[in-house]
Structures are given as C-alpha cells and as structure tokens.
Amino acid sequence: MRLTLAWREALWAFAFLAIPLAFFLYFRILPAFQALWLSLYEWHADPSQRHFVGLEHYARLLEDPLLRRALWNTLLYTLLGIPSQIALGLVIALLLQWTPFGRDFFRAIYFAPYVTPAVAVAWVWSWMLSPHFGLVNELLALLGIPPQPFLQSPNQALPTVTWVVVWQNLGFQVVLFLAGLESIPRQYYEAARIDGAEGWRLFRHITWPLLNPVLVFSVVIGTIGYLQLFTQVVNLNFTDQGGPLNSTLTLALYIYQLAFLRFQLGYAATVTVLLFALILLVTLVQLKLLTRRVEL
C-alpha cells in the first residue's frame, strides 16, 4: 500500500512529536502519579519496606498547624502579589508606550531584575532592607520615619518578601503588557477618536477589554508562580527559612523541608498532591471566570 504524501508527512510529524511526548509523560506525568502513590506509604529508602498507611497522611494534613500556616501565607502572597504586579506592570507598560523616547532603554531596565538570579536578588535586597545598615531605612530616616525591621519582623516579613518578588516579576509583566498593547489595532482608537472618545474612555472601552487575553495569561501564570514560591523565601532568610516564626513559610518550602531535611517523603508527597490539586483548581476557576470574548 502506498501512502499519500500528506499521510507520510503526518506520520513524520507524529514521529517527531512522539519524542517530546514520551519525555513529557515519563518525566512529568509519571512522577505526578508516583507522588500520588507515595502519599499512601510511609517512606523508606528500600521500596520493599514502605508500609502502606492508607489515608493516614491525609488525616495528618487536617491537623498540621505548619501546613495551615503555609497555606495561609501562600494565599496572602498571591493576593498581595498578583494585583500589585499586574497594576504596576500595566501602568509602566502604558507609560512606556506613551513615552516618545528611551523606550528600549527603560524596557531593558525593567526587565533586568527578571533575568537576575533570584539568589542574587535576595542577597542584595536583604542588605538594602537591613534595619541598621540598609539603604531603604536610610531613605525612610530622611523622611523622618523610624527604622523598620522588614524581614526581621513576623508582621512585615511576608509583605516584604512579596515586594521583592513583585519587583523581580515586574519586567516580565511589562513586556507581556507591551506586547498586548502593540497587538491592539490602531484603527479602533482612530475610529473611537472620530466618535469623540478620549483618554480614560479609550482605555476603558478599547485597551482594557482587548488586553483580556494578556490579563488572563498573567493572572494564571502569576498565580502558579506564587503558589510555587520558594527561592526568594529561602534566600531572604537563609538560616531560618520560612521565618521568622513561620511568617514567610510557603507550601513549596514546607514540602522541601519535609522531604529533604526531615526525610518524611511520604507526607511530603501528600502535601505535594494537595498543592497539585490547588493549582489545578485555581487555574480552572481563573480561566472560567476571567476569560471573556470581546466584541467591539
């Protein structure tokens, strides 16, 4: 039997696609299911000595104060971080689009933190935020504000960490919005202007609705990022990770501590399953609520 050219091309395409797919299945999907399986066992290095404990670990989830704290913190990070980075990103993107000169220069400036290693960022900020030597408190002193403990205070640490993450994500957010703004056809604005619309109304009725896809993407990707927050938290308080007093502990960090500092890999897998479910749920809800078909 001879295959048509189209068929042969399709087969080649599938052959090439099969490689990344196999990779994806083996290294991504399979481990996810292994975690599910692992969460039902008491961990042991020797697989034959792993006791089946059923839902015992899931019961432990319900009465684990550290887990509750990590969940609560993660929620706070997301609620503080996402609106901040989206609002700031949008304002900066609009300003950049509006400015007649230096656009590339500023874009590079805003993007630089995003490509800086998170560890280096954490280091520099932990110096800038130091109560006794830091630049930030130096500036506050000029304004007559007493020195703030920032990362050392159980109350201020979480918002402070969020700020560092927002600062770092901002560049990416700006680039996303700039691309979104560029993709809005000029004609809409021209037509609206002919109809007498100006300023705020142009933004409200053209820019904002047409940015919806970028917005949805930003919220979903940003939320997943905050739900998996780890590196900055670890490095901003390296010798008391998640501290002070668990005030910056995140789910991802808690999983890491359980698995690799306390060797409780079974329970760590259970928390991972919870995080997985959470990300899935939040993402689906966001996609459902935020996505709008825009008709002009």
CA distances to 24, 31, 43, 258, 267 from 49, rounded to whole Å, are: 30, 20, 8, 20, 16
Cα atoms found within 13 Å of the Cα of residue 103, Cβ hemisphere only: 12
Q: Which of 5, 15, 19, 45 binds another protein (CB under 8 A)?
A: 45
Q: Does 262 bind another protein (CB under 8 A)?
A: yes
Q: Which of 73, 74, 126, 168 binds another protein (CB under 8 A)?
A: 126
Q: Which of 35, 39, 40, 43 binds another protein (CB under 8 A)?
A: 43
Distance, in Å, from the CA atom of 87 to the CA atom of 161, rounded to the nearest integer, reads 18
Would you state the structure tokens that stand for residue 9, as one six-digit string? Answer: 């091309």
20 vs 65, which CB is nearer to another protein? 65
Provide, rounded to whole angstroms, the least separation between the CB of residue 147 and another protein: 5
- Within residues 212-251, the interface with another protein by CB under 8 A covers 238-240, 243-246
Q: Does 137 bind another protein (CB under 8 A)?
A: yes
CA distances to 42, 206, 268 from 193, rounded to whole Å, are: 67, 11, 58
Q: Does 149 bind another protein (CB under 8 A)?
A: yes
Read off the amino acid at residue 225.
G
Stretch that binds another protein, among 73-81, 98-106, 124-132, 197-205 (CB under 8 A): 124-132
Beta bridge partners of 42: 51
Distance, in Å, from the CA atom of 193 to the CA atom of 227, rounded to the nearest integer, reads 42
**54 DSSP 8-state letter:** T
Binding residues vs another protein (CB under 8 A): 43-47, 49, 123, 126-127, 129-134, 137, 141, 146-147, 149, 151-154, 238-240, 243-246, 256-257, 259-265
